[in-house]
């Protein structure tokens, strides 16, 4: 836990320094809030995507992001002047960003970069068409239709999107295809995720334009952040609940904070509080989606207070935001549940297969490479575990969805076998891997592997 806190703190400090530098340069070039906020959102998105964690990712991001940023700016202009055309281009852009993941590592990274400014576009105070003649609002005014709550997994995977879909060539020799013959004749995960995103966004834009013409952007943004990186129906449900709960809690805290005489509006105390809130949001982001949703709601509420109309206040505005977040979450969940769904159990089994393979290698050879491979496999498994971990915490039961039991037993095995194991343990791991195709036999096999790693007699 201490190492995790140090890592999170370092990430928060570096991200905040990048944000401060970006905002300062943006204001120097164009003294308007829009570009500065957009630049800050891109910093947050990039830090979340983790594309900058190696030199290749930094170079690719540095070269590609300016061009992709120009594309997103063009989409923003289309949403202002020809919003139906802009919506179509936006849907196609997000569809492409996910579909590219099926073609290998380089297209996957391009798709990841493509998604960043498209998400930030809905958060920054971009001009949005209003009723009557379409026009650009005055500088500094925040459109009611813009804004967002969370830049989640712009590239998901909470890192690179849906890992199973994002890295089709990774560990292919050791992978397992857990689908039935009928399922194997269907579309691959990347294509299904891309089609789910396109349909969800199309519905969000349609409902937003028809029924919420001046505040559709939050519905669209919620669909993006809940659906992107979809690791199965359980994952979408869990993220939707967390987003709604976090936004509700953030709204209550924001209303209490804005009741203070010195907080709210474009003044120094508000700016200082805003920066502190963003820092805390980045620091707590690795510890749970709910914390990020809560603190980012606070941050955006303070931004909105810069241009809030005294006659209406922020209370009704924040109530509308909760309504839009609930609607966007429902749309993303319905599409993920019923349209080309990804089975959560299949995703969990793929991750467990990778972990077991890496653990077998670690038992056979204690090298830095096998240790790093095992750690990477653990992280991939951890990304699909939160819904099942939450079930166990809330209901305080060792039983529950069987995928949660698989994850817990696999984690125990990793802890027991990290520093080596007997030949019998390697054999038991091999048997567990062979049972991955049969969910009914998987848990007993995992328990036998755990017992062998612990040195228990058969």
Contact between 227 and 132 (Cβ < 8 Å): no
pLDDT at 101: 84
Distance of CA 23 to the CA centre of its chain: 24
Tokens of 313: 């206040």
Determine the pLDDT at residue 127: 41
Q: What share of the chain is helix, strand, coil (3-state, %, to 5)?
A: 75, 0, 25
Q: Are 230 and 343 in contact (CB under 8 A)?
A: no
CB atoms within 10 A of CB 85: 12
Alpha-carbon 146 to chain mean position: 20
User: Distance between CA 56 and CA 58 in Å, rounded?
Assistant: 5
DSSP string, 65-107: HHHHHHHHHHHHHHHHHSHHHHHHHHHHHHHHHHHGGGG-HHH
Q: Is 438 exposed, middle or buried (0-12, 13-18, 19+ CB in 10 A)?
A: exposed
* Local structure of 286: helix, strand or coil: helix
Structure tokens at 57: 């990712």
- Kindly report the CA angle at 316 between 261 and 276, in degrees rounded to 5? 45
Residue 285 is given by DSSP the state: G
Residue with tokens 């009704």: 316
Distance CA 345, CA 175 (A): 15
- Give residue 208's pLDDT: 93
Backbone angles phi, psi at 241, to 5 degrees: -65, -45
Confidence at residue 325, expressed as pLDDT on a 0 to 100 scale = 85
- Residue that is written with structure tokens 């020799």 in the block: 173
- Whole-angstrom distance, CA of residue 45 vs CA of residue 57: 14
How many CA within 13 A on the CB side of residue 60? 19
pLDDT for position 315: 59
What is the chain's pLDDT, residue by residue, as a tens digit (458 residues)?
A: 777 788 888 888 888 888 888 888 888 887 776 677 777 777 776 676 655 556 666 676 677 777 777 777 788 888 888 999 999 999 999 999 899 888 887 788 778 777 777 777 776 544 434 343 333 333 333 333 333 343 333 333 333 344 444 333 334 434 445 554 434 546 888 899 999 999 999 999 999 999 988 888 889 988 988 888 778 888 888 888 888 888 778 877 877 776 677 776 667 777 788 888 888 888 888 887 788 778 877 877 777 666 554 444 555 666 787 888 889 989 999 999 999 888 889 999 999 999 999 999 999 888 889 999 999 999 889 989 988 888 878 776 656 688 999 999 999 999 998 877 788 888 999 999 999 999 999 999 999 999 999 877 65
> Which residues lie below 8 Å from residue 226, measured CB to CB, with a gap of 6+?
152, 236, 239, 240, 243, 328, 329, 332, 333
Query: DSSP letter string over 187-208?
Result: --HHHHHHHHHHHHHHHHHHHH
Asked if residue 98 lies in contact with residue 161, where contact means CB atoms within 8 angstroms, the answer is yes
Euclidean distance between CA atoms 322 and 121, whole angstroms: 20
Q: Enter the pTM of the model.
A: 0.74
Cα–Cα distance measured from residue 103 to residue 95, given in angstroms and rounded to the nearest whole number: 14
Question: What does the block give as tokens for 81?
Answer: 């002047």
> Which residue, among 293, 287, 292, 295, has the nearest Cα to 8 in the 3D structure?
287
Indicate the burial class of 358 (C-beta count within 10 angstroms; 0-12, 13-18, 19 or more). Answer: buried
- Please count the residues of the chain: 458
The secondary structure of residue 115, as a DSSP letter, is H
């Amino acid at each position: 836990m201490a190492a995790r806190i140090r890592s999170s703190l370092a990430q928060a400090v570096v991200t905040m320094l990048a944000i401060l530098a970006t905002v300062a340069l943006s204001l120097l070039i164009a003294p308007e809030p829009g570009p500065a906020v957009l630049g800050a959102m891109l910093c947050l998105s990039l830090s979340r995507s983790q594309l900058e964690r190696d030199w290749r990712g930094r170079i690719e991001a540095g070269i590609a992001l300016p061009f992709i940023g120009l594309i997103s700016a063009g989409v923003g202009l289309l949403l202002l002047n020809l919003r139906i055309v802009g919506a179509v281009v936006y849907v196609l852009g997000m569809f492409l960003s996910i579909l590219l993941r099926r073609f290998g590592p380089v297209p996957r990274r391009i798709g990841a970069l493509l998604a960043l400014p498209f998400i930030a576009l809905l958060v920054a105070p971009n001009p949005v068409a209003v009723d009557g003649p379409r026009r650009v609002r005055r500088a500094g005014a925040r459109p009611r239709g813009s804004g967002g709550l969370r830049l989640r997994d712009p590239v998901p995977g909470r890192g690179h999107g849906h890992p199973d879909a994002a890295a089709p060539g990774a560990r292919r020799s050791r992978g397992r295809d857990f689908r039935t013959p009928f399922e194997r004749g269907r579309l691959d995960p990347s294509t299904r995720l891309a089609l789910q995103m396109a349909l969800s966004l199309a519905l969000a834009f349609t409902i937003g334009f028809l029924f919420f013409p001046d505040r559709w952007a939050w519905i669209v943004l919620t669909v993006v952040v809940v659906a992107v990186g979809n690791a199965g129906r359980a994952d979408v449900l869990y993220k939707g609940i967390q987003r709604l709960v976090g936004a509700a809690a953030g709204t209550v805290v924001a209303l209490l904070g804005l009741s203070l005489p010195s907080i709210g509006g474009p003044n120094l105390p508000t700016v200082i509080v805003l920066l502190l809130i963003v820092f805390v949001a980045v620091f707590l982001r690795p510890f749970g989606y709910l914390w990020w949703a809560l603190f980012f709601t606070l941050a955006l509420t303070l931004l909105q207070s810069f241009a809030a109309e005294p006659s209406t206040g922020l209370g009704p505005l924040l109530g509308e935001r909760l309504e839009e977040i609930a609607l966007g979450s429902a749309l993303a969940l319905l599409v993920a549940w019923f349209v080309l769904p990804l089975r959560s159990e299949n995703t969990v089994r793929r991750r467990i297969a990778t972990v077991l393979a890496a653990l077998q290698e670690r038992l056979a050879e204690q090298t830095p490479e096998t240790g790093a491979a095992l750690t990477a496999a653990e992280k991939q498994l951890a990304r699909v575990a939160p819904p099942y971990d939450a079930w166990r915490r809330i209901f305080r039961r060792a039983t529950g969805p069987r995928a949660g039991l698989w994850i817990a037993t696999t984690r125990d095995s990793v802890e027991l076998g990290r520093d080596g194991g007997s030949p019998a343990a390697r054999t038991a791991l091999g048997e567990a891997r062979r049972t991955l195709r049969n969910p009914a036999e998987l848990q007993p096999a995992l328990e036998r592997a755990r017992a062998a790693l612990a040195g228990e007699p058969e």
